């Protein structure tokens, strides 16, 4: 009886894991694994994913799209343009500035906060201490792993897409999830997903943070955005992992640390929180972008100076809302517990300083970059009438989200119900019925075999 229950569970899990439906939003060609044309999909078709991966095919002349997803069609794996399919049940999608495809085009990617913590420690011993069990297992297979463990460590590049998402803590576990529905919230997103089946993955880790997830194939996540940080919570508000938006300088120095046990942290562009603060002080801090010519807003009374130094001459104090363009990045410094770079800027429109005097468009100077925000981001401006602001560069009150493993609650997320795509529901129902019929047949066959064995005795 126990064997029958186990068999039923396995077959149901394998069948149901491919239940997530995806909607084709425009006509598209499909190809096989050899990149041979195999027909087309029509707008409105419902398909299912073969796996959670999306591949960069920019250099592939046989395909007419840059990124491909794997779908199931008539039991076969087919390639399709990843941009033409979305979760069938959703009416909202992620902001494109969060998606790996768009980020990679800008030289950015998501990594785990664990990777940054290891890099900041400036010793690969930190990595060894976190991954000792895995490293010792690898070292025991010298036929496969001929060199030392640190030659096989690679930098993380966490995939983040509208159709799939990974949960990776950078130490003990990772999960692959199909996205079923995305709902935007005040602080980020509420995401309904489904656990993807992969025979090579081990979901048996004894980790209390996974209890919320592994009790069901359906997984709900709260995603919170905080500047360059992205937090993934379970439905019970436990923090699973933290991702951080970084550029190539992090990967380069991380690999350098692994290979040579040394790195140059002064060339790394460190991420920061939405309030302008940084967890990694004493080095370069991103001002939300590393691009020159970026348009930024002043968020508080901020001094424009003659050079990148607190002792330099002050031209005037800029008012909150003043628009600037980046001309040059200067040295990194920590002021009022905020780490950032000095930036040479140009004022791009006529405005007034704190005292109401006219500032001409085209005026240039240096200011501390810790309090500049992208012009398109709506920021709450702190009251500039506070007399304590007169003689300081500026100050911002820091706010933090809980660290990994914390059970501290975040705001409840209220999800308004939306109608589910009828085609998606029918497809899921058909698959479920077929699975049940198949399992019934298997159970009947087993019962017949058991009865014959008893009669033979």
- Rounded to the nearest integer, the mean pLDDT of the chain is 76
Q: What is the pLDDT of residue 452?
A: 66
Determine the Cα–Cα distance for residues 449 and 443; give it in Å rounded to an integer: 10
Q: Do residues 216 and 223 make contact, with C-beta atoms less than 8 angstroms apart?
A: no
pLDDT attached to residue 293: 67
Per residue in 203-227, pLDDT (tens digit) is: 444 444 555 555 567 788 999 999 8
pLDDT at 117: 94
% pLDDT > 70, the chain? 74
Annotate 44-55 with b (16+ C-beta within 10 A) or e (fewer): ebbbbbbbbbbe
Q: Which residues share a beta bridge with 28?
A: 41
* Structure-model confidence comparison of residues 351 and 390, the more confident one: 351
What ranges in 140-247 are assigned the alpha helix state H? 211-214
Pick the range with the lowest mean pLDDT from 153-157, 171-175, 204-208, 425-429: 204-208
| 104 in Cβ contact with 54 (< 8 Å) | no
| Rounded Cα distance, 44 and 46, in Å | 7
**Range with lowest mean pLDDT among 243-252, 351-360, 361-370, 437-446:** 437-446
Q: Say how many CA atoms lie within 13 Å of 131 toward its Cβ.
A: 21
- Pairwise CA distance, residues 359 & 369, whole Å: 19
C-alpha radius of gyration, the chain, whole number: 27
Under the banding of pLDDT at 50, 70 and 90, the label for residue 309 is: confident
| pLDDT for the residue numbered 236 | 81
Largest CA distance in the chain: 104
**Residue 166 in contact with residue 192, Cβ under 8 Å?**
no
| Contacts with 20 (C-beta within 8 Å, 6 or more apart), sequence order | 48, 49, 87, 178, 179, 180, 193, 194
Of residues 183, 199, 201, 202, the one with CA closest to residue 191: 183
Distance CA 250, CA 115 (A): 9
- DSSP one-letter string for 386-426: -GGGTTSS-------PPPTT-------------PPPHHHHH
Q: What is the pLDDT of residue 385?
A: 36
- The DSSP result for 274-322, as a single string, is TTS--SSTTS-B--S---TT-EEEE-S-EEEESSSSTTSPEEEEEPTT-
Overall average pLDDT of the 137-155 stretch: 77
Q: Which CATH architecture has domain 287-379?
A: Roll (2.30)
The residue-averaged pLDDT of 307-327 equals 91
| Backbone phi and psi for residue 176, each to the nearest 5 degrees, phi listed first | -105, 130
C-alpha to C-alpha distance for 111 and 88, rounded to whole angstroms: 28
Q: How far apart are the C-alpha atoms of 33 and 452, rounded to whole Å?
A: 45
How is residue 272 written in tokens?
A: 């920061």
Lowest mean pLDDT of 56-60, 134-138, 387-391, name the range: 387-391
* Global confidence as pTM: 0.62
Reported confidence tier of residue 142, pLDDT bands at 50, 70, 90: low
**Mean pLDDT to the nearest integer, 303-327:** 91
DSSP 8-class letter at 324: E
Reduced 3-state DSSP string for 68-130: EEEEEECCEEEEEEHHHEEECCCCCCCCHHHCHHHHHHCCEEEEEHHHHHHHHHCCCHHHHHH
Of the pLDDT bands very low, low, confident and very high (cuts 50, 70, 90), residue 429 is low
What confidence score (pLDDT) does residue 403 get?
A: 36
């Amino acid at each position: 009886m126990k064997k029958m229950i186990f068999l039923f569970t396995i077959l149901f899990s394998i069948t149901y894991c491919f239940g997530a439906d995806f909607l084709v939003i425009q006509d598209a060609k499909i190809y096989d694994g050899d990149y041979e044309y195999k027909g087309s999909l029509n707008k409105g078709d419902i398909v299912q994913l073969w796996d959670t991966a999306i591949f960069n095919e920019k250099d592939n002349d046989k395909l007419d799209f840059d990124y491909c997803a794997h779908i199931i069609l008539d039991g076969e794996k087919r390639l399709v343009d990843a941009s033409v399919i979305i979760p069938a049940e959703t009416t909202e999608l992620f902001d494109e500035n969060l998606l790996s495809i768009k980020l990679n085009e800008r030289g950015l990617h998501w990594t785990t906060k664990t990777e940054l913590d290891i890099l900041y420690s400036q010793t690969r011993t930190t990595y060894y201490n976190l991954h000792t069990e895995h490293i010792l297992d690898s070292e025991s297979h010298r036929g496969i792993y001929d060199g030392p463990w640190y030659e096989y460590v690679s930098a993380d590049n966490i995939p983040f897409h509208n159709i799939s998402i990974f949960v990776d803590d950078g130490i003990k576990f990772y999960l692959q999830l199909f996205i079923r529905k995305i709902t935007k919230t005040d602080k980020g997103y509420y995401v309904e997903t489904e656990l993807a089946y992969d025979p090579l993955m081990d979901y048996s880790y004894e980790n209390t943070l996974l209890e919320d997830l592994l009790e069901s194939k359906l997984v709900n996540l709260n995603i919170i955005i905080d500047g360059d940080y992205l937090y993934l919570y379970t439905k019970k508000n436990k923090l699973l992992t933290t991702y951080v938006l970084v550029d190539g300088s992090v990967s380069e120095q991380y690999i350098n640390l692994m290979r040579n046990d040394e790195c140059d942290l002064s060339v790394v562009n460190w991420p920061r929180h939405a309030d302008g603060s940084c967890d990694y002080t004493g080095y370069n801090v991103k001002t939300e972008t590393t691009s020159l010519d970026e348009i930024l807003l002043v968020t508080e009374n901020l001094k424009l100076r003659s050079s990148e130094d607190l002792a330099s001459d002050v031209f005037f104090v800029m008012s909150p809302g003043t628009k600037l363009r980046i001309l040059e990045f200067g040295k990194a410094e920590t002021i009022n517990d905020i780490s950032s770079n000095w930036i040479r800027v140009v004022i791009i429109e006529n405005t007034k300083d704190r005292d109401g005097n006219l500032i001409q468009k085209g005026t240039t100077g240096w200011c501390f970059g810790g309090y500049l925000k992208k012009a398109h981001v709506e920021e709450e401006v702190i009251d500039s009438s506070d007399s304590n602001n007169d003689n300081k560069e500026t100050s911002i009150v820091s706010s933090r989200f809980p660290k990994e493993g914390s059970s501290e609650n975040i705001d409840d997320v209220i999800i308004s119900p939306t109608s589910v795509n009828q085609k998606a529901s029918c497809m899921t129902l058909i698959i479920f019925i077929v699975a049940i019929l198949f399992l019934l047949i298997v159970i009947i066959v087993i019962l017949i075999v058991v009865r014959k064995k008893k009669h033979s005795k």
